[in-house]
Copies of this chain bind each other. A is one copy, B any other.
Amino acid sequence: MVTIKDVAKKAGVSISTASLVINNKAGVSERLRAKVLAAIEELDYRPNGMARALKSKKSKVLGLIIPDIVNPFFPLVVRGVEAAALRYGYSLILGNTDGKLEEEARYLELFVEKCVDGIIFIPASNFKKNIRTFLRIESPKVVIDRALEGTGLPTVMTDNITGAYLATRHLLANGRRRILFISGPQDLQASQDRYKGYKKALGEFGLDEELVLNGDYTFDSGKRVMEQALKEKLCFDAVFGANDLMALGAMVVLSENKIKIPEDVEVVGYDNILFSSLSKPTLTTVEQPAYQMGYEATRLILRQIYSKKELSECKLLEPKLIVRESSPQQY
């Protein structure tokens, strides 16, 4: 391994002069600078990030925890985070938890050991213990997508109540009255908010009978829930899935059972993943700007790192209804 010492020796200067050149700082004569640069080139020197981090107490690494990398919504978020991070010279340790709380806890610990300069957290649930662990960590923090009530943590999210309201109102305006809501994990604020939006729209149409089944945001849970609904002979003329994956899962089961979409049952999802525009019929959905959410979250982290202040900003992005074949507009 080539160290700064080797560079200094080769260039015939002291270590500190070499350091100044390496870090592009002023106070070195052109002559020596050139010599050092030449030595670096010749030896193919790369500064040792570990040593730098140890000394400067800045690792230039960010930690990102996501619940499910297989859900196409999250890769987009990751891409946004990464783009912003790389741009500002940070790299990313990825922690995919597959929704498991132990893994989540483990990554949180790991991030502390790895001395990440900031953590972007998309919790898999509202599990108090992990949230508490997270709060205790001193590095800058941002939460994406899931409001952690009352923590004052900087957050980037869309207005889930409005999004779900838009979706439900659309179905109601289409004349549907028995709307089955497939919820996400119940303890997530985002899930609760989408439920609230659903209820709010029902309320406006004078409906108070709700129709709710619980999923967990996976494709399989969407299928499972729909199979259950059919077996129980639930009566419904529309389905609103709390995310596209579940809505897509429900659609598959519906089709298998020769139930026509949208004639017999209209379907709406949430997220606008690529495949919601590819299914047959294409899926009406509520768009969330995933890439942008990741990007903004990272900027929020970076701002905290640079300002050395904890922010408690909440960046609320607007969801947008995208009407497609699974529930064509009738009004």
Contacts and interface: CB of A to CB of B under 8 A. Distances in A.
Contacts of A107: 91
A4 to B, nearest CB: 13
Contacts of A279: 278-280
Interface in A59-103: 59, 61, 69-70, 72, 74-76, 78-79, 82, 86, 91-96, 98, 103
Given A48-B54, A54-B51, A278-B248, A93 B96 contact: no
Nearest to A249: B278
A115 interface: yes
Contact of A110 (B50, B75, B91, B278): B91
> Which bracket fits the contact residues of A?
35 or more
A113 B107 CA distance: 22
Describe A's contact surface by its main secondary structure: helix
Contacts of A113: 46-49
Copies of this chain, tallied across the complex: 2
Contacts of A51: 54
Interface of A: 44, 46-51, 53-54, 59, 61, 69-70, 72, 74-76, 78-79, 82, 86, 91-96, 98, 103, 106-107, 109-110, 112-115, 136, 219, 248, 252, 255, 274-275, 278-280
Given A50-B53, A94-B94, 16 more contacts: A44-B136, A46-B113, A47-B113, A48-B54, A49-B115, A61-B93, A69-B79, A70-B72, A70-B76, A72-B72, A72-B75, A79-B96, A92-B93, A255-B280, A275-B275, A275-B278
